[in-house]
Amino acid sequence: MLVRELMFLQLFRPGAAACVGDLFLPPPKIEPSRLYFFIWNIFDKGKMKLPGLIDPHVHLREPGAAHKEDWDTGTAAALAGGFTAVLTMPNTNPPIINAQSLAIAEQAASSKARCDYAHYLGAGPHNSHELAELAPRAAGLKMYLDNTYGPLRLDDMSLWMEHFARWPRGMPIVAHAESRTMAGGILLSALFDRPVHIAHVSLREEILLIRLAKEKGIKVTCEVAPHHLFLSTDDLPALGAGRGEVRPRLASPVDREALWANLEVIDCFATDHAPHTLEEKDSFNPPPGFPGLETALPLLLTAVSGGRLSLDDLVARMHINPRRIFSLPEQPETWVEVDPLAEWEIRAENMHTRCAWTPFDGWKVRGQVQRVVLRGREVYRLGENTDRGEIRASPGSGRNLRDIS
């Protein structure tokens, strides 16, 4: 056991030998994430506890396209991936842009969700007043400033300004804004002196600009999706054109490496779980998007194993920072048990997402979710000799995080 524990420490703290003492005798001035590491890590047959992960960027396709995913399958996939809370995007059909459509989404979620959640509202051309009133029920305001899947796109900057002026100051604004559009979104954040969170950053120029903006004190935060950390244009031939479609597009290996090199600028890892069926992906007009809920944690734990990332880095970006940025309540008695040493192969057939494919099919990873506990109840368990776990949470047991103060 001791050998295994020591191996574990070597794995999860690059240069860990020097830190072993810290784990048991924390120095008086300890960073919050180190403190977290100290409190949460237990050694029980090589298992490790993480807090319930929070994914601030998830597309469940209900209402409107339940054949791709619905609240039941999507939240099952979340639990299997170690996520106990998902913030869901408004580009559904109908899109979530007013009280009526929000009520439809709330109804679907309250009857079917197996993990906790909150709904984003979508900024449209005529709804800034109404959305401001609905804000307390929302995860945040989502602004689509570039072209992507779904009907929500705002081109006219006067509309951006209206939403920035009306949306309550204490509530998050998230922008799909690529390259120079992103620069425009950051300018608005500076002009209105209010936070903006940039979704799925993928380019070197973007992460460098966000670094500069942060250095100037602009209230910008950002997220990166695992597919932009682990895939690039080099993977497109193997994936095939349709399956490789995603927005932002897979970027060059130089862009991918720039994200890793600027890890400290990245506040969150968000999956941008965007399920479409294989039939759709392989069609003449393939929609952009990858599923990601069930592959994010294993991929990132593999990076921890390889020394690219520390466990503190991971927990900060998948729990601590999203909770702070989106003002989410604590989920008491909630955790994820992981075997950090388990080696296994990602296979679409073992996943719970309805879309039934993954761009990471066949990847060998290290680190596996064994069990998930949400508000004191076991909600997921991996069986013996299988890589497909059992979902134990019932549909409707998930809670709307905005109903919890």
Under the rule (CB under 5 A), what is the footprint of Zn ion?
Answer: 148, 176, 272
The binder of 206, among Zn ion, ligand NCD, none, by C-beta within 5 to 8 A per type, is: none
Lookup result for tokens 């597309």: 59
Residue 59, interface with ligand NCD (CB under 6 A)?
Answer: yes
Q: Smallest Cα–Cα separation from 250: which of 286, 276, 289, 308?
A: 289
Identify which of residues 146 and 337 has a Cβ nearer to Zn ion in the complex: 146
Residue 273, interface with ligand NCD (CB under 6 A)?
Answer: no
- Minimum CB–partner distance for residue 150 and ligand NCD (Å): 6
Residue 176, interface with ligand NCD (CB under 6 A)?
Answer: yes
- Minimum CB–partner distance for residue 340 and ligand NCD (Å): 29
Residue 91, interface with ligand NCD (CB under 6 A)?
Answer: yes
How many angstroms separate the CA atoms of 173 and 170, rounded?
A: 10
Cβ–Cβ under 8 Å, residues 114 and 394: yes
Q: What is the DSSP string of 236-297?
A: HHHH-TTTT--SSPP--HHHHHHHHHTGGG--EE---B----HHHHTSSSPPP----TTTHH
Among 272, 313, 337, 339, binds ligand NCD (CB under 6 A): 272
Cβ–Cβ under 8 Å, residues 114 and 397: yes
Per DSSP (E only), the strands in 10-67 are: 48-51, 53-58
How many angstroms separate the CA atoms of 351 and 245, rounded?
A: 21
- Minimum CB–partner distance for residue 247 and ligand NCD (Å): 4
Amino acid at 326: F
Q: Smallest Cα–Cα separation from 163: which of 205, 135, 199, 203?
A: 135
Identify which of residues 281 and 366 has a Cβ nearer to ligand NCD in the complex: 281
Residue 127, interface with ligand NCD (CB under 6 A)?
Answer: no
- Minimum CB–partner distance for residue 92 and ligand NCD (Å): 9
- Minimum CB–partner distance for residue 200 and ligand NCD (Å): 6
- Minimum CB–partner distance for residue 246 and ligand NCD (Å): 4
Give residues 286-315 in contact with ligand NCD (rule: CB under 6 A): 287-289
How many angstroms separate the CA atoms of 85 and 335, rounded?
A: 11
Residue 267, interface with ligand NCD (CB under 6 A)?
Answer: no
Residue 274, interface with ligand NCD (CB under 6 A)?
Answer: yes
Q: Which residues bind ligand NCD (CB under 6 A)?
A: 59, 91, 148-150, 176, 246-247, 272, 274, 287-289
